[in-house]
């Protein structure tokens, strides 16, 4: 099967653009022949990651820039989310305890549960690049 070209979105950090990101990621995952459930879960993980960028890296500022890239690497989907905000501190990122029943606080849990690899690159002078990888089964 022929690989699809990479998809790159450069969008403001406003929640109204999350739907566009979900649609793009969904289409790429479908084109790569991921199953329906996998596509849904991948989209959830990317949505959670972008929401975290808006909330934590940009501290709710909606006029910042996010760059989302999705690439078909034959055996895997690689998605990178680049922000130019407050750097992530990977060692300190935690989800709330699962026993505490309340809304919110489980984004990182879902991202790590769904994706096969989660990497934070903080080597840039400004911001973070989050790389999320899902292998084909």
CATH number at residue 62: 3.30.565.10
Q: Are strands 117-121 and 129-135 parallel, antiparallel or unpaired?
A: antiparallel
| In-domain check, residue 1 | no
Span of 58-72, 77-91, 99-113 with lowest mean pLDDT: 99-113
Q: How many domains does the chain have?
A: 1
pLDDT at 6: 93
pLDDT at 77: 98
| In-domain check, residue 74 | yes
| In-domain check, residue 35 | yes
Closest CA to 56 of 26, 34, 89, 80: 89
**pTM, 2 dp:** 0.87
């Amino acid at each position: 099967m022929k690989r699809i070209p990479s998809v790159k979105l450069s969008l403001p950090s406003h929640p109204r653009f999350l739907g566009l990101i979900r649609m793009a990621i969904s289409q790429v995952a479908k084109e790569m022949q991921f199953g329906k459930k996998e596509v849904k879960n991948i989209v959830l993980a990317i949505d959670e990651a972008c929401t975290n960028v808006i909330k934590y890296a940009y501290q709710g500022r909606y006029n910042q820039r996010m760059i989302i890239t999705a690439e078909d690497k034959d055996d895997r989907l690689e998605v990178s989310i680049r922000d130019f905000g407050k750097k992530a501190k990977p060692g300190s990122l935690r989800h709330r305890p699962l026993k505490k029943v309340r809304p919110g606080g489980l984004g990182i849990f879902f991202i790590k549960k769904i994706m096969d690899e989660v990497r934070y690159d903080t080597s840039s002078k400004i911001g973070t690049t989050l790389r999320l990888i899902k292998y084909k089964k």
